[in-house]
A and B are shown apart, each in its own frame.
Chain A
Amino acid sequence: MFDAMAPRTQPDNLRGTNVAPILPMSMREVVLRFGETAVLDGVSLDLGLRGCTVIMGSNGAGKSLLLKLMHGLIAPCSGSIKWGDLAPSDVMVRQALVFQKPVLLRRSVAANVDFVLKARGKGIAARDALLEHVGLLHKSAQPARLLSGGEAQRLALARALATDPEVLFLDEPTASLDPASVLVIERIVADARKRNVRVILVTHDIGQARRMADDVVFLHRGRIAEHSPASQFFPDPHSSVARDYLNGKIVV
């Protein structure tokens, strides 16, 4: 059964088990090119054992691509990405990514969760608890693709949690949602974080970043302009682009 408050069955401090830890992550000099243009240009980034890392930056800065690179959906043209001491092929299955635009199956809400549980060889016993956790239990039988934007994001989140991930990537999960939906999603993410799930969140919402972030990565034109603890980033960012961004100036 899914218990939102129970720590992960395999927390990152895998004491007494023989499962190798997935954290920390270390990315070195990663370059990603499409044709001639480098959309990520020498990105180096370290992610610690716990907490929520927020990635910010203007549209087209390369945030979504950075998530997909970390997750292993795309391979860098050069540079390296290392999760713990794991082989690259062992990484993805221990992570989940909620895409910027949720990809929901042409099935009912419940069937969307069942699909993931079954694909991972789990029974569907946890389904109702997962849907309850994201506030969608009463919509179980509804077609998933008729959900509202906020509901669709919550279903995508429930599906991601169904894989029991150790690392959870969220790509602008609350963009264009109403404030109530934003708070619900933040509550779900905060619960996951409390269970020791490592959260990596892309957002444009400065308020949300303040509420969620332990550290902030500011991406600008395919480079990391700044990576600071939240306690320092928001009052006193040391990069000028981040300062302009926080002050509401348009950064391109």
Chain B
Amino acid sequence: MLGEILQSIGEALGLAVALVFSGDPDLLEIVFLSLQVSLTATVFACVIGLPIGALVAIGRFRGRNAVLILMNALMGLPPVVVGLVVYLHLSRSGPLGFLGLLYTPTAMIIAQTILISPIVAALSRQVLEDLHAEYADQFRSLCLTRLQTIQALLWDARYSLLTVGLAGFGRAVAEVGAVIIVGGNIDHLTRVMTTAIALETSKGDLGLALALGIILLVIALGVNAAVQTVRMTAARQAYV
């Protein structure tokens, strides 16, 4: 019994490795769409999340604590809930239905952006607040404007923020709940790695599922390694 299972897993692994190295066009298409959707969502999430994180980091306003709690709570948004909410907005009867975006990569980008913007905002808030504690008196002495302060903090925290962006990307590229609802896992259109893995596993095609799983792991490790290398180079110059 156990032997059989191990054997089938072994076969699947063999198939997976063969697929990865075969350069199968269907596989590549899925991988590229995954990267395209999640990287775009990460860029948007940074554009939205970094200014919010910076404003909350240096701001002293009423209700700041409530904002902090909200930001932290939103970090844990369940992907299926985000998917559902976006779905309700984009579906034909929804308020944005006229855009015709449901089951397109754009819808997937929107959902992932909503999912990871709070992550970028909350993590960058922490990073920028710590840095600001160090710089605040010096910046006030220089009579910097709020905008100059934010710009300087964002730039000086650049290597830490890279890790923040990576955390967002990691969450986006690995989630399945949101993209499967708003994307629909349509072959050659909205099929990404995670939704393909879910589908192939349920169909019993473990080889393709494992192949995609391996690629997903390699991408995650590769991006992490790249960011770590950049950070270590920066740390050697005391820029982190």
Q: Which of A71, A93, A105, A120 contacts B156 (CB 8 A)?
A: A105
Q: Does A116 contact B (CB under 8 A)?
A: yes
Are A143 and B237 also in contact (CB < 8 A) when A107-B156, A119-B148 are?
A: yes
1/0 contact trace for B175-192 toward A, CB 8 Å?
Answer: 000000000000000000
Are A106 and B156 also in contact (CB < 8 A) when A119-B148, A143-B239, A145-B238 are?
A: yes
Query: Which size class do B's interface residues fall under?
Result: 10 to 19
Contacts of B140 in A (CB 8 A): 73, 92
Residue of A nearest to B239 (CB): A106
B141 adjacent to A71 (CB under 8 Å): yes
Chain A at the B interface: mostly helix, strand, loop or mixed? mixed
B141 adjacent to A73 (CB under 8 Å): yes
Contacts of B156 in A (CB 8 A): 105-107
Question: What is the distance, in angstroms, from B161's C-beta to the closest C-beta of chain A?
Answer: 12
B238 adjacent to A103 (CB under 8 Å): no
A103 adjacent to B239 (CB under 8 Å): no
Interface residues of B in 132-147 (CB under 8 A from A): 134-135, 137-138, 140-144
Q: Does A97 contact B (CB under 8 A)?
A: yes
Bound-state CA distance A192–B144 (Å) is 23
A146 adjacent to B137 (CB under 8 Å): no
Residue of A nearest to B160 (CB): A106
Q: Does A245 contact B (CB under 8 A)?
A: no
Residue of B nearest to A156 (CB): B138
Q: Does B88 contact A (CB under 8 A)?
A: no
Q: Which of B143, B152, B237, B240 contacts A105 (CB 8 A)?
A: B152
Question: What is the distance, in angstroms, from B210's C-beta to the closest C-beta of chain A?
Answer: 43
Chain B at the A interface: mostly helix, strand, loop or mixed? helix
A143 adjacent to B152 (CB under 8 Å): no
Question: What is the distance, in angstroms, from A64's C-beta to the closest C-beta of chain B?
Answer: 11
1/0 contact trace for B203-240 toward A, CB 8 Å?
Answer: 00000000000000000000000000000000001111
Question: What is the distance, in angstroms, from A19's C-beta to the closest C-beta of chain B?
Answer: 16
Question: What is the distance, in angstroms, from A110's C-beta to the closest C-beta of chain B?
Answer: 14
Q: Which of B135, B144, B237 contacts A119 (CB 8 A)?
A: B144
Q: Does A163 contact B (CB under 8 A)?
A: yes
A145 adjacent to B141 (CB under 8 Å): no
Bound-state CA distance A143–B240 (Å) is 11
Q: Which of B142, B155, B237 is most buried by chain A, counting CB atoms within 10 A of its CB?
A: B142
Interface residues of A in 185-231 (CB under 8 A from B): none
Residue of B nearest to A71 (CB): B141
B237 adjacent to A103 (CB under 8 Å): no
Q: Does A2 contact B (CB under 8 A)?
A: no
1/0 contact trace for B14-47 toward A, CB 8 Å?
Answer: 0000000000000000000000000000000000
Residue of B nearest to A96 (CB): B141
Interface residues of A in 72-97 (CB under 8 A from B): 73, 92-93, 95-97
Q: Rank and list the top 5 A-B pairs by shortest CB-CB distance, nearest first.
A: A145-B238, A143-B237, A103-B138, A106-B156, A93-B143
Q: Which residues of B contact A (CB under 8 A)?
A: 134-135, 137-138, 140-144, 148, 152, 155-156, 237-240
